[in-house]
A and B are shown apart, each in its own frame.
Chain A
Amino acid sequence: MKLRLSPQTLLVLDAFLVQPEEWKYGYDLSRVTGLKSGTLYPILMRMAERKLLETEWEAGEPGKPPRHMYRFTPEGLGFARANAPGRAGAGLEQVALGMVEG
């Protein structure tokens, strides 16, 4: 279950560690982490491939296509807590302060 812990991956782990039980959307994660789609999605895909994330299609309003959402698996939560201890929110604070560029 190896995952290269780049600064961008740590940002994504941070974003998931905030209310980890809740489903999150791709664009919301991009806004929170400041990562562009070209950086964010490969990380999400690798995490899902390693069973750190579970994915699901949200049944939206009738007539509208569903939206893809993500949240930690129990393994993913354990991995994030082990590899980014005490980091939850720290990276996101940097984003909020404009210190991290996408």
Chain B
Amino acid sequence: MGAPRRLAAGILKAAIDIAPEASREWAAAMLRELDFVEGDWAALMWALGSTTVILRHAACAWQEWLKGSTKEEVGMNNTGKKALGVGLGMLSALALVGCTFAMLRIISLVFPGLEHSPWAYWLAVMVVPEAIFVGATIALWRKRGPVAAGILATGLMMALHVAVHFSMR
């Protein structure tokens, strides 16, 4: 299996992880078809096209969710809604961290030298996610405060984890 095909499979597998539940079956179908695509570069093109479809669906699902309350939220009391919001914020932040690690893994497969570069590692797992957390917290603070709080809490926990890691060394 050539490097483009390995990369194609890696990209699609990472995309499946963030696919909304409704389109996960389709994402798996696209991944399965990858085995039948003739040619490594054609496989990579197939994966990129499929990933675009999955990301578009994920973005639509997010947009729907951000627009208004979910079905589960209706009928909950205020504390329940806030707790759900904080939980979703934390889950979203953790999903981002998961995606970052997946991307780092893919990049290290393509550029093996980067794996040993500490600045690239910290940039990918710390600086970029923290910047996104801060941006998301600011953007969501007024509209969906509990979600923003969940994201912020996860960001702080990650930062604390890194601080402890450095102090131990």
Considering only CB atoms, which chain B residue lies closest to A70 in the complex?
B29
Considering only CB atoms, which chain B residue lies closest to A58 in the complex?
B32
Given A27-B37, A41-B26, A45-B26, does the pair A67, B32 have CB atoms closer than 8 Å?
Answer: yes
Q: Across the A-B interface, how many residue pairs have beta carbons closer than 8 Å?
A: 51
A41 touches B50 (CB 8 A): yes
Residue B108 is within 8 A (CB to CB) of chain A in the complex: no
Interface of A is mostly: helix
**Complex Cα–Cα for A67 and B28 (A):** 9
B29 touches A38 (CB 8 A): no
Identify B32's interface contact among A36, A41, A65, CB under 8 A: A65
A55 to chain B, nearest CB (A): 8
**Complex Cα–Cα for A26 and B28 (A):** 12
Given A36-B45, A68-B28, does the pair A25, B36 have CB atoms closer than 8 Å?
Answer: yes
B23 touches A45 (CB 8 A): yes
B33 touches A26 (CB 8 A): yes
A26 touches B30 (CB 8 A): yes
Residue A74 is within 8 A (CB to CB) of chain B in the complex: no
Q: Which 3 A-B pairs have the closest CB atoms?
A: A38-B49, A68-B29, A37-B49
A residues apposed to B, CB below 8 Å: 25-27, 30, 36-39, 41-42, 44-45, 55, 65-68
B residues apposed to A, CB below 8 Å: 23, 25-26, 28-30, 32-33, 36-37, 45-50, 52-53, 56
